[in-house]
Amino acid sequence: MKKVKVFITLKESVLDPQGQAVMQSLHNMNYKNVQDVRIGKYIELQMEDSADVAGQVDTICDKLLANTVIENYRYEIEEEVHS
């Protein structure tokens, strides 16, 4: 089994109103050194081993998990260790 950790972030050219609101709150809490806040998504997939897990994850991200008009994604594939 593989554990896939997918990180989805808004493209730099896209304004993030949520991030701006959170940054304002941090400034109100006196964390004046916070320069920017960007909010993204973190998704975990558990996948059975197959020949091309990375290729599948690319397709899954392009088709469904991310909207590449506004978002970028990256992922990490780890060996699932059963305890």
Partner 1 sequence: MKTAVIVFPGSNCDQDMYYAIKDGLGEEVDYVWHAETSLDGYDAIMIPGGFSYGDYLRSGAIARFAGIMPAVIKAAQEGKPVLGVCNGFQILLEAGLLPGAMLKNKHLKFICETVNLQVKNNGTQFTTRYNQNEVIRIPIAHGEGNYFCDDATLKELQDNNRIVFTYSGENPNGSRADIAGIINAAGNVLGMMPHPERAADALLGSDDGLRLFQSILNHWRESTHAAYTS
- In degrees, rounded to 5, the angle at the alpha carbon of residue 52 between the alpha carbons of residues 46 and 73 is 65
**Least Å distance between CB 18 and partner 1?**
6
Contacts of 36 (CB under 8 A, 6+ apart): 19, 23
**In this chain, which of 18, 25, 27, 76 binds partner 1, going by CB under 8 A?**
18
Which residue, 64 or 81, is less far from partner 1 as judged by CB?
64
For 4, counting Cβ atoms within 10 Å of its Cβ (0-12 exposed, 13-18 middle, 19+ buried), the class is buried
**In this chain, which of 28, 42, 49, 64 binds partner 1, going by CB under 8 A?**
64
User: CA-to-CA distance for 30 and 20, rounded, in angstroms?
Assistant: 15
Segment near partner 1 (CB under 8 A); pick from 28-36, 49-57, 63-71, 73-81:
63-71
**In this chain, which of 12, 13, 30, 32 binds partner 1, going by CB under 8 A?**
13
